[in-house]
Structure 1
Amino acid sequence: MISIQAAAAAIWLASAAEILPAPEPTSIAIDAGQVAPEPAAMAAVPPLILRRDTPIHFMVVSEVTTKTHLAGHRFKLRVDKPVVIDGVVVIPVGATAWGEVLTVKKSGNVGKAGSLEAKLLYVESGALQIPISGANAAKGAGGGGETALGVLALGPLGLFAKGNNAKIKAGELMTGFVEQDTELPRALPAGL
């Protein structure tokens, strides 16, 4: 299987061969038993390295809540700040990322608040999925005070007062970190 970097280098080399003039033939005197020197190959375009633990800033696109989501639900995020390596934007603002709900505890009677935990999975950069780590936990507000007032006003029926649902709000900011060093292809020169 050919890597993205090898394919990009091969395309660049093929394009450069069409544009550059053929070298002038030269004569080299070679003694018997010597091997003729090979022409120097063009240097391959080195990839960019996105280092482990590089922070990436995200914004949650749609609200995730214990009222409507279960464990295993995947939710979308967008990159909130560009990631730049050597002056090259490798992950632009607006790139898509994904998270997953790990646990959900629904709100309950007697003012029990809901809670949820979620983790970040990966960010998309071109055709690559770059694994990221990071987590978020949310807890709804407890309804203990409301339950106590409900019991005073309604008697035992006040025990059915529910706590609030937990939610990760749309627009909430999160930070994730690159899980491992990742090679990213460097953009080819314009016109090639």
Structure 2
Amino acid sequence: MQVKRVLAAVCCCCCLAGGAVQASEEFHDVKTPVVGAEFPVEEPAVKPNIQERTKAILDEYNDPKRPKTHHGVELGHVYIPKGTPLMLALQEPISSKTSKEGKAFKLKNLEDVVVNDVVVIPAGTTCVGKVLKGRGNRGFGMGGKLELSIAAIKTLNGVTVPLNGYIKGRGKKSSTWFAPWWISAFLKGKELNYKEGQLFRVTVSRNTDLKVTGDELGDAMGYPADGKPSIYVKPME
């Protein structure tokens, strides 16, 4: 008789937990930006030989054909400074319940990026992100989990701009302190859901050479700023 009562309690909790998953899916406020971070640095499986790496760097530096650069920008060229912010809007929903590793998703830039009074990345420019890890909610109150990569966006002249676009989020964990472990195993946390229109604030991860001089910038982009706020940079000297 006691065994039947235990089994009935477990079944009841399973049903409640299953129903709670559907009812508890929470969406982030699309008006509140999720802030991207630098991508985590992974240690190489095999450490490079320091002597060989140093020699390669010196050979590259002393190569007479190598363009002279400063902070990654060829001398005389204009650039997008490191730390320049972009606001991106998600163009499709993403959920920890259904999004698996490798899934691609689209985003749209919401504001013109203007350098020296020339639009280099217009509002409406699209880029592609990727799901690095996706996991649905689990027992013991564990919420769903997503890790996203928004790695780059392109300028009007085709230059790839690297972004600090590492997003890591987790659905809210459900409290299980009140339940025995054999019941907690069936109690799930919330899924992590980003709706279409969710904002992501990212920044340019390094100075990005626009491959043109200041005099060539307008012709290369062909998109005057018309008085919009501009980033003013001096060509690298």
TM range (shorter): 0.5 to 0.7
> What TM-score, normalized to structure 1?
0.61
1:108 to 138, 163, 171: 138
**Residue type matched to 2:195 in 1?**
K
**Residue type matched to 2:150 in 1?**
L
Matches within 5 A, 1:78-97: 78-97=108-127
Structure 1 contact 138–167 (Cα < 8 Å) conserved: no
Looking at both structures, which has the greater relative contact order when contacts are Cα pairs under 8 Å and sequence separation is at least 6?
A: 2
Over the aligned positions, Cα root-mean-square deviation in angstroms equals 2.9
Q: Provide the secondary structure at the position in 2 that maps to 1:187.
A: helix
User: Which residue in 2 is equivalent to 1:138?
Assistant: 169
User: Which residue in 2 is equivalent to 1:182?
Assistant: 209
Shift of 1:67: 0.9
For each residue in 1:69-111, what CA deviation from the matched residue of structure 2 results, as whole angstroms up to 9, or x when unmatched? 1122222111111111111111111101222222223211232
User: Which residue in 2 is equivalent to 1:71?
Assistant: 101
For 2:139 and 2:132, how far apart are their aligned partners in 1?
Answer: 23
Please list every run of at least 4 consecutive aligned residues from structure 1 whose deviation after the TM superposition is greater than 4 angstroms: 156-159
Structure 2 contact 98–136 (Cα < 8 Å) conserved: no
Structure 2 contact 159–210 (Cα < 8 Å) conserved: no
**Residue type matched to 2:93 in 1?**
E
More displaced 10-residue stretch of structure 1: 67-76 or 87-96? 67-76
**Residue type matched to 1:104 in 2?**
G
For each residue in 1:164-189, what CA deviation from the matched residue of structure 2 results, as whole angstroms up to 9, or x when unmatched? 21123322211222233221552329
For 1:164 and 1:77, how far apart are their aligned partners in 2?
Answer: 24
User: Which residue in 2 is equivalent to 1:167?
Assistant: 193
Structure 1 contact 112–144 (Cα < 8 Å) conserved: no
More displaced 10-residue stretch of structure 1: 59-68 or 99-108? 99-108
For 2:166 and 2:184, how far apart are their aligned partners in 1?
Answer: 35
Q: Provide the secondary structure at the position in 1 that maps to 2:151.
A: strand
Structure 2 contact 139–185 (Cα < 8 Å) conserved: yes
Structure 1 contact 116–167 (Cα < 8 Å) conserved: no
Name structure 1 gaps, 5 residues minimum.
1-45
Matches within 5 A, 1:47-66: 48-66=78-96
Number of corresponding residues: 140
Relative to structure 1, the CA distance from residue 82 to residue 162 in structure 2 (aligned partners, 3 Å threshold; closer, same or farther) is same
Structure 2 contact 174–188 (Cα < 8 Å) conserved: yes
Relative to structure 1, the CA distance from residue 158 to residue 55 in structure 2 (aligned partners, 3 Å threshold; closer, same or farther) is closer
Name structure 2 gaps, 5 residues minimum.
1-75, 223-237
For 2:209 and 2:164, how far apart are their aligned partners in 1?
Answer: 14
User: Which residue in 2 is equivalent to 1:128?
Assistant: 159
Structure 1 contact 90–184 (Cα < 8 Å) conserved: no
> What TM-score, normalized to structure 2?
0.51
For 2:172 and 2:83, how far apart are their aligned partners in 1?
Answer: 33
